[in-house]
Amino acid sequence: MKHNLDKIETIKLANLPTPIEEAKRLAERIGLLKLLIKRDDLTGLAGGGNKARKLEYDFAEIIKNGYDVVLTAGGVQSNHARMTAAAARKLGLDVKLVLGGPDFEIAKGNLLLDILFNAEIRYLVDDDANESLEREMQKWSDELSTKGRKPFIIPIGGSTGLGALGYVKAIEELSHQIKDDNVQIILGVGSCGTFAGAILGAQLFLPSARVIGISVSRSNEAIKKRALELIEESEDIINYKINKSITVECYDNYHIEYGIATDEGKQAINLAANLEGILLDPIYTGKVMAALIDLTKKNIIDKNIPVVFIHTGGMPIIFSFENELGKNINCKKIYPK
C-alpha cells in the first residue's frame, strides 16, 4: 500500500533540507557512542524552528482557499505564534495572535518579534490556559467573520493531522542523511504535532528507529492520547494505515510546568553552548537535552546506539530569560581612569 504524502500541497517557507551535525564533544561528555543534531533551528523563517515545516502545509491550504486573515494562539514566548506571524507577512496576509502569560512592560524574545511583524495581539494577562486562548481566538474569528473577513484558525502549536505531515517529511529527509535506521530520535513534546509526525515518519521511513518524546507541559497519558489522534488524522490525509500497534514513548518528569525553566535545563543549555557552540532554549530544547543526559545515565537510552537530537529551534526565548541565564558572567569590567 503506497501513501500519497508527496501529493499533499505545500508552500515554500523553510530552507530544506536542514543539516545534521555530529556533536562529538557533547557525546563524549554524556557518554554516548554518537550524537547527531538535526538542525531544524536553521529552517530560516523568522529565526528558524520546527514550526516552519508544519506551516508549509497550513499556508498552502490558506492560500488555496482564499482566506485573508490568519489567527493562532499560544503562550507569551510561543515559537509557533512568531513563525505564523512571519509566514503571514511573507505571504501578504493579515495576522492576529492571542497570547497569554505574566503581565509585562517591555516586550522580549518572541513577543518582541511578534510586534516587529506588526501582528495584532490580544494578550490574556496571567492566563495562558489553552481553553482560554482558544475561546478568545474563536471569539475574535467570529468578530472578523461578521465584518466580512475570511479568517483561518491555526490551532495552538499548529498541531493538526495536516501540520504533522511536516515532520513525516522531516523524518524522510533524515532517512537520506543517516546511514542506518537503527537510531534513537529524541525531541520535545508540547502540542504533539511534531512528535506525532516523527512517529509516523519513522514507521514509514526509518522502521528500526526509536522515537522518544520529552514533555514540556503535558502528562504521558495526555501525550499518548493526542499523538495517536494526530497520527490517525495524518494517516487519513495521506491515505495510508500503519497495520500494527504504534508505540508512543514519552517522559513527563523533566518539566515543572510550561514556560518555567528548570535547573537541569539551564545546566544543559550551558553544556551545549560550551562544548558545541549550540544554542538551546529554557522552555523546550534545554529540557530535552537535560532529559537525554539523565536517560543516558539511567541506561534508558542505549549508549551504543546513535542518538538523533531534533533541534526544534526557539533561540529568541533565550532573550526573555536574561535574569536566569545571564547571572554567571565571565566578564572583567575595566573602567576608564
pLDDT in tens, 8-43: 999 999 999 999 999 999 999 999 999 999 999 999
Pairing of strands 94-101, 120-125: parallel
Domain range summary for the chain, segments of one domain joined by +: 5-49+159-325, 51-158
Does this chain's domain 5-49+159-325 share its CATH topology with 51-158? yes
pLDDT (average), residues 110-131 = 97
The fold of the 51-158 domain, in CATH, is Rossmann fold (3.40.50)
Asked if the model's pLDDT at residue 327 lies above 80, the reply is no
Express each pLDDT in 279-306 by its tens digit: 999 999 999 999 999 999 999 999 999 9
Closest by Cα among 296, 303, 306, 294 to 184: 306
Asked if the model's pLDDT at residue 180 lies above 70, the reply is yes
pLDDT (average), residues 179-202 = 97
Q: Return the SS3 of 43.
A: coil
CATH code reported for the domain at 5-49+159-325: 3.40.50.1100
Average pLDDT of the chain, as a whole number: 96
Express each pLDDT in 127-141 by its tens digit: 999 999 999 999 999
Positions marked catalytic: 78
Q: Phi first, then psi: what are they for 261, rounded to 5°? A: -70, 145
Distance CA 170, CA 168 (A): 5
Helix axes 220-238, 161-175, angle to 10 degrees: 80
Asked if the model's pLDDT at residue 262 lies above 80, the reply is yes
